[in-house]
């Protein structure tokens, strides 16, 4: 990753801030007291989006590419960038982004589908693909990403699965305060964790840790709707915030679709107090997978959910023969500590 030169300065809301070595634009702005929304800080959620001007075009090609990963063509052309991934050189002018493309949606369903997982249903006008994620705004500062379970035509509603984090700002608000009839703000769907019809006869391995089942269930239902003929193996794993859920529904689907196998693996301890051991959790899961697959050569792999074991398991899949390009990772990176009050 490109790091900031010590002479870089960022201009934002009539203030000029000198950037410190290895600081992103987001970190500089937070350090000098600006309230910039942010969550994952690794370029996944897009909550830290800002807009620049011609000064952005003067940045090195790699600086721009890194700061605009995953943005739409329209956002790229209008000089939007992710402030958590932007390490400019020289001068950069930044301002708040255009959010006029955000969706206003109406909550149509609010139901616990397990002791810790809320199913939130919304009436939304736009288009999306199951497995993509949206940014859900609690207020002007706090937004989090959630993966989409449903299909716009088959289901007619946008459906999210939200695990409760006891001290979490947005998940706790969704569980405790959001209600049917509320109008919520979402940023347009993005992401590449989707079904590809060109994979229709391939072997699919889908791993869901906790609410990683949201994108997995979305992609799985799309694969079945598209008549996927290859084998599909789904592995449901516990996470400290969500035990495997919807197990009966998945086993019911498997009973009707001969190519589908559903496996439940207790790879991680369910108590949040127990220290996680990602390498051993990933190995437990791989041992379970190896009972059915001696090799993952030619398979397409989806790894979705929260926890470091997702990345450890990705390496094991690679060692088991899966090609790097065929491993789709949707990691639920949690928010870093913010510098402003959460209310
Ligand atoms: C691409 C993507 C897709 C995602 N999809 C989903 C999905 O489909 N479903 C889903 O459930 N999640 C999903 N997530 C995760 C989601 O975006 C949030 O990170 C998650 O809901 C937690 O948000 P929060 O605001 O509740 O917690 P935050 O406020 O962000 O807190 C983060 C963590 O810190 C802990 N914490 C907060 N404050 C304190 C404190 N003072 N002391 C100690 N601990 C504290 C919280 O308990 C929590 O575990 C996704 C993430 C990404 C990046
Ligand atoms: S993309 Fe920058 S905070 Fe998530």
pLDDT at 303: 97
Best probe residue, ligand 2, of 23, 28, 44 (max atoms within 8 Å of C-beta): 44
Output the CA 217–ligand 1 centroid distance in Å: 20
Mean pLDDT computed over every residue of the chain = 93
**121 DSSP β-pair partners:** 109, 159
Output the CA 44–ligand 2 centroid distance in Å: 6
pLDDT at 336: 78
CA distances from 129 to 22, 138, 143, 219 (A): 36, 23, 21, 9
Min mean pLDDT across 78-82, 93-97, 264-268 is at 264-268
- Both structure tokens of 147: 């993966």
For the 103-190 domain, the top CATH level (class) is: mainly beta
Residue 210: DSSP 8-state = G
The order of strands in the sheet holding 260-265 is 260-265, 232-237, 204-209, 300-305, 327-331
171 or 273, greater pLDDT:
171
| Fold type of domain 197-331 | Rossmann fold (3.40.50)
Q: In this model, does residue 168 exceed pLDDT 60?
A: yes
Output the CA 203–ligand 2 centroid distance in Å: 33
The residue whose CA has the least distance to atom 3 of ligand 2 is 41
Q: Where are the domains of the chain?
A: 9-95, 103-190, 197-331
User: According to the CATH classification, is domain 9-95 in 3.20.20.70?
Assistant: no
Q: In this model, does residue 96 exceed pLDDT 50?
A: yes
CA distances from 191 to 79, 134, 146, 161, 284 (A): 20, 9, 11, 17, 29
**265 DSSP β-pair partners:** 237
Atom of ligand 2 nearest to the CA of 84: 2
- Stated pTM of the model: 0.94
- DSSP of 74-85: HHHHTTEEEGGG
Name residues whose C-beta falls within 8 Å of residue 57's C-beta, 6 or more positions apart in sequence: 64, 79
202-259 tens-digit pLDDT: 999 999 999 999 999 999 999 999 999 999 999 999 888 888 999 999 999 999 999 9
């Amino acid at each position: 990753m490109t790091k900031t030169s010590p002479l870089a300065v960022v201009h934002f809301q009539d203030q000029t801030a000198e950037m410190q070595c290895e600081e992103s634009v987001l970190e500089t702005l937070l350090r000098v007291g600006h309230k910039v929304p942010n969550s994952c800080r690794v370029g996944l959620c897009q909550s830290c989006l800002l807009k620049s001007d011609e000064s952005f075009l003067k940045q090195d090609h790699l600086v721009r590419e890194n700061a605009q990963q995953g943005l739409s063509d329209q956002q790229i052309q209008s000089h939007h960038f992710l402030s958590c991934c932007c390490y400019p050189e020289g001068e950069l002018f930044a301002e708040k982004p255009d959010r006029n493309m955000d969706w206003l949606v109406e909550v149509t369903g609010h139901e616990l589908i397990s002791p810790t997982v809320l199913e939130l249903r919304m009436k939304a006008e736009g288009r999306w693909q199951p497995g993509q994620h949206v940014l859900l705004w609690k207020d002007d500062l706090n937004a989090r990403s959630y993966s989409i379970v449903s299909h716009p035509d088959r289901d007619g509603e946008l459906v999210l699965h939200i695990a409760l984090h006891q001290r979490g700002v947005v998940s706790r608000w969704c569980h405790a305060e959001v209600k049917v009839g509320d109008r919520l703000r979402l940023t347009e769907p993005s992401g590449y964790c989707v079904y590809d019809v060109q994979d229709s006869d391939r072997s699919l391995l889908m791993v869901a840790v906790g609410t990683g089942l949201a994108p997995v269930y979305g992609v799985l239902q799309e694969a079945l709707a598209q008549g996927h003929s290859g084998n599909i193996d789904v592995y449901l794993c516990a996470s400290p915030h969500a035990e495997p859920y919807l197990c009966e529904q998945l086993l019911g689907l498997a009973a009707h679709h001969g190519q589908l196998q559903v496996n439940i693996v207790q790879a991680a301890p369910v108590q949040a107090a127990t220290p996680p051991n990602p390498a051993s959790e990933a190995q437990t899961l791989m041992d379970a997978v190896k009972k059915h697959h001696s090799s993952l050569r030619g398979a397409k792999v989806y790894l979705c959910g929260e926890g470091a074991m997702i990345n450890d398991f990705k390496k094991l899949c690679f060692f088991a023969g899966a090609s790097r390009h065929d491993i789709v990772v949707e990691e639920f990176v949690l928010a870093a500590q913010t510098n402003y009050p959460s209310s």
